[in-house]
Chain A
C-alpha cells in the first residue's frame, strides 16, 4: 500500500491535508490492522492527501492515563506533541476512539491543538463533500451498531457512525442499550490489558448477548478494542456462523470491493 510518512512528505516539501493517527492496535494487532488498511483504501479512493507518522508514532498514553499513570501519559503526550507540532500538523483522523478522545480533549492543555476526527466523522465529511460514495451493497441486511464509550458517551458522537452505516442500505437494528445508555464492551479504562476482577460474567459476553438479541447479521463498531471484545464474545457463544464483527470502515470498503 502506498502510505506516505510525514518525514517523507516533509523531505519533498509537502504538507498533507490530514494526518492519519494509526494507534497501537491499528499498527500491531492483526485484526485491527485490517481496519487500518480498509480505512487507507477509503482515503485513497477519496483522493485524500494524507500521511502517517510511521515509526515516529508512539502511544498516545491513553491506556497509561486511565490506569492511573499520569506521569507516563504526560511524557508520551508531550513528546508526541513535540513531533506533531514540528510537522505543523493541523488535522488528525483516528480509527481508535481512545486516541481520538485523548488527542482531541487532553492534548490541548499540554500544547497540542489539532482538529481531530474519528474516522466515522471523517468518512461522513468525505461523503458530504462528494469525495467518497458509499455503495448500497448491503441492502436490507440487518446490522447492529455498538457505540464505543469514548466516542459515544465520552464525546457525544452517536449519529455520524449511524448515518454512514445507513448509507450502506442496511436495516439498522438497535440493541436494548444503545447511544448514551450503551453498555461498555469491557475493554476501556485499561481493562484491555488485564484480567477482569472476580465476578459472575465477562462484560463482553453480556454485551454480545445484547447484540445477538437483535438477530442482526453484522455487529458494526468503530473501535479496534470493541472489535476484539465483541469478536471474543461471539466466539464464546459459538455464533461465528451467524454474526460477524466489522468496523464501519471495513463495511464501506468492502461494499465498494476495495
Chain B
C-alpha cells in the first residue's frame, strides 16, 4: 500500500500527458487539411525569426504595459516549470524535494527563491490582466467577437494561473522543514505565519494537498490548452518559424492562374484542340478559398495559434471606423470552422461528410472581406506573425474568380482595366497627354 500514491501519480501523469498527445495529433491532422505550402526555405532566417519574435518576445513590447506584463508571465511560466521536474520525480519515487540534497541548500534555495519571486510577479501581472479585461474594459477586449465563450475562456486561463501560482506558494509556506531551513522562501515566509497556529500534522496535510492540487492543476491546464485560445504558448514557436519572410506588400501569384493565362496568351495554342485520346480530363483547380480546406496549412496553423489579443483588430483601419471587419474575428472564425470540420471527420470514421456549410457566408461574410484595405496593419501588429490578410485575399479571390461576386464598382474598375488598361474609363491613347497639359 505504500506505493499507492506513486501509482496514482503515475496514472494521473500518463492520463494527463496521453490525453494531451492525442489532442495534439488531432490538431496536427486538422492543420494538415490545409493545402501544401513550401516554407522549408531560408532555415537560418526562420530560426532567427522564431528566436527573436517567439522566444525573445520582440513584438510584444510595442505596447509597453501589456508587453512588460506578458514578459513577466512568460518568464515565470518557463522558469517555474523547472520545478515541475522535481514534482514529477518526487511524485513517481515518493521522494520529498529530491533536488535539495543534490544541489545543496544554497543553490536549491536560490532556485526555489527565484521561482517564488517569479510566482509572485506572475500573480500580480495576472491580476492586472484580469482588471484590464473586466474592470478597465480595454476596448479590444470588448468587441463583439469577445462576447460569451471567448471572454470566459480568457478569464478562466487567468484564474488557472492565479490558482496554480497560489498553490505553489502555499505548498512552500506549509512545508515546515523548508521554512525552518530558511533557504529559498522569500515570498512564502510571509505566508507561513498565517499557519503558525496549526499542528505539524495539519501543516503537512495542507502541504500534501497543495502539492497534489498543484500538479493535477498543471495537468488539467495542459489539457485545457487544446480547447482554449491559449495554444499560443506552444504554437507561437512553429508559427513564427513558418511565417512569411517576403515583403508584406507582396501577395502570392496563383500558379494555377499563371498556367491558364500563359495558355490563353500563347499564339500557338489551338483553342479548338480536342484532348488527346486517353488523356485524363483535368479537373480545374478551384481559385481562391471558400472553406478552410482551400486555405494552406500555415493559415490554419495561424488560426490555432491566435490567442485573441486583438492587437490586429485595434489597429485595423476598417474596424477603427466601425466596419464589420475584424482581423481577429477572421482568425477565430477560421479556427471555429476548422474545428467543426475536424469533429465532422472524427464522427464519420475519418472522412469528411458534406455538412452544407463553409467558411464563406456561414462564418465570414463578404461584407467583412470587402472592407479590407490590405494595409497590413494587422499583420504588422500581430506579436507572433499571424497573417489574417492572406485569408481575406484568398476569400476575395474565390468571390471574384469563382462567383463573379465583386461589388459592382469593382467590376467596373476591372472592366476598365481589361478594356483600356486603367481602372478608369480613359482612352489608352490619351495616356501621355499629361506631358503637354
- A residues near B (Cβ < 8 Å) are 1, 3, 5, 22, 24, 26-29, 33, 36-37, 40, 52, 54-55, 57-59, 61, 63-79, 101, 105-106, 109-110, 149-150, 153-156, 180-181, 183-184, 186-203, 206-207
Contact = CB atoms under 8 A, between A and B. Distances in A.
A199 B373 contact: no
A217 to B, nearest CB: 25
A74 B261 CA distance: 7
Contact of B249 (A52, A70, A150): A150
Most chain A CB within 10 A, of B265, B421, B436, is at B421
Interface string B175-215: 00000000000000000000000000000000000000000
Contacts of B380: 153, 180-181
Contacts of B288: 68, 70
Instruction: Give the 9 A-B residue pairs with the shortest CB-CB distance, closest first.
Output: A154-B249, A189-B374, A58-B421, A68-B396, A200-B322, A105-B250, A184-B375, A68-B400, A199-B322
A198 B373 contact: no
Nearest to B374: A189
Contacts of B398: 68
B352 interface: no
Given A52-B432, A66-B374, A184-B373, A33 B321 contact: no
Prevailing SS type, chain B contact patch: helix
A156 B245 CA distance: 13
A258 to B, nearest CB: 15
Interface stretch (B166-174, B232-240, B294-302, B406-414): B406-414
A58 B265 contact: no
Contact of B409 (A187, A189, A193): A193
Nearest to A199: B322
Given A59-B423, A189-B373, A203 B249 contact: no
B247 A155 contact: yes
B422 A194 contact: no
A1 B373 contact: no
A74 B417 contact: no
A8 to B, nearest CB: 11
Contact of B261 (A36, A71, A105, A207): A71
Given A24-B422, A195-B409, 5 more contacts: A24-B423, A57-B431, A106-B250, A196-B321, A201-B322
Interface in B233-258: 246-251, 253-254, 257-258
16 contacts: A1-B436, A3-B435, A24-B424, A28-B434, A29-B424, A37-B434, A58-B421, A64-B413, A67-B400, A69-B400, A78-B265, A155-B247, A184-B317, A196-B321, A197-B370, A202-B321
Contacts of A110: 253, 258
Contacts of A63: 413, 417, 423
Contacts of B414: 64, 67, 69, 72
Contacts of B434: 22, 26-28, 33, 36-37
Contacts of B435: 1, 3, 37, 40
B135 to A, nearest CB: 26
Contacts of A27: 422, 426, 431-434
A39 B23 CA distance: 60
B373 A105 contact: no
Contacts of A155: 247-249
A156 B406 CA distance: 30
Given A64-B414, A70-B254, A197 B318 contact: yes
